[in-house]
Amino acid sequence: MTNCWIIYNGSLISEKFVDQANLMAEAVKKYNVEPVVLKNCDVMMNLQIDLEDRPDFVIFLDKDVLLGQFLKQQGIPVFNDPDIIETCDNKAKQYLKLSQANIPIPKTIIAPKIYKNFSIKQTGYFEKVIAQLKLPMIIKEGHGSFGMKVYLIETEEQFYEKVEELSGVDFVFQEFIASSKGRDIRVNIVGEEVVAAMYRHSETDFRANITNGGTAERVELTEKQINIAKQAAKALGAEYAGVDLLFGKNEEPIVCEVNAAAHIRNIYNVTGVNVGEKLTEYILRKLAL
């Protein structure tokens, strides 16, 4: 019988992480695949010992890219590939790739590396950033999920306070898309197919994430939204992706970011589509299982 591992992070105590894994397990069972749900710490990365009882494939719902690389090195197909997860998990790397592929993104400046407890405040660099992007702007840490570590900067005082606070951290400066304040679209893609989408909006926050109090509903995508979402996932090599689209001028779609380990519970609740089923179909077809 075909079997798979579904891996999530064992250090995260929120129920939504194990719920995500269990919802994925329900999906694979429908295709006669036996799932084993594991925490990342359940798999010992002992480089001297080959894994026993290895699965036919792994659905990787974590950002432990070293574990992903270890499993890949053992010859086990991993979805998404850990290289893709690593790129998507680093916002700066992701925007570099999207920009290279001419995907529409907000105007973005990648902050230079600044060592912790040091500063470049005296160089005039930050003044140039403000002049080019204007205020308000977004400052976004390189690593973060669910809209966390994303900051709306409205004054110069807030700007300088935040850049000093982020000394030693990878981050980007980004244009604030005022026309999309508190609203976006999440598009789930498997392979090169859009399998589910929802419109998210918030009356209380500039971010639309449901985790931050936003609400969601079904949405019919335009052809342009479909095409840009697909192009963004393809540019990053993501076989399974949650693409977040903003509303630019005249409602033109702009890619906010691409998630390579996108959660599927909220979109299931809104649309009735278990994205895990579509992912399982794709994997079985690709691996000819």
State how far Cα 198 lies from the chain centre: 16
Per-residue pLDDT at 210: 63
**Model pTM?**
0.93
Phi-psi sector, 49: left (phi>0), alpha (psi -120 to 50), beta? beta
117: pLDDT confidence band, cut at 50, 70 and 90? Answer: confident
The band of 118, judged by pLDDT with boundaries at 50, 70 and 90, is confident
What would the pLDDT profile of 5-30 be if each residue is shown by its tens digit?
999 999 987 788 999 999 999 999 99
Each residue's pLDDT tens digit, 68-95? 999 999 999 999 999 999 999 999 999 9
pLDDT in tens, 229-286: 999 999 999 999 999 999 999 999 999 999 998 999 999 999 999 999 999 999 999 9
Per the CB < 8 A criterion, the answer to whether 108 and 173 are in contact is yes
Q: pLDDT tens across 121-168, in order?
A: 999 999 999 999 999 999 999 887 666 789 999 999 999 999 999 999
Give which of 105, 108, 61, 57 is closest to 85, Cα–Cα.
Answer: 61
3-class SS string, the chain: CCEEEEEECCCCCCHHHHHHHHHHHHHHHCCCCEEEEEEHHHCCCCCCCCCCCCCCEEEECCCCHHHHHHHHHCCCCEECCHHHHHHHHCHHHHHHHHHHCCCCCCCEEECCCCCCCCCCHHHCHHHHHHHHHCCCEEEEECCCCCCCCEEEECCHHHHHHHHHHCCCCCEEEEECCHHHCCEEEEEEEECCEEEEEEEEECCCCCCCCHHHCCEEEECCCCHHHHHHHHHHHHHHCCCEEEEEEEECHHHCEEEEEEECCCCCHHHHHHHCCCHHHHHHHHHHHHHCC
Report the largest interatomic distance among the alpha carbons of the chain, rounded to a whole angstrom: 64
pLDDT on residue 254: 98
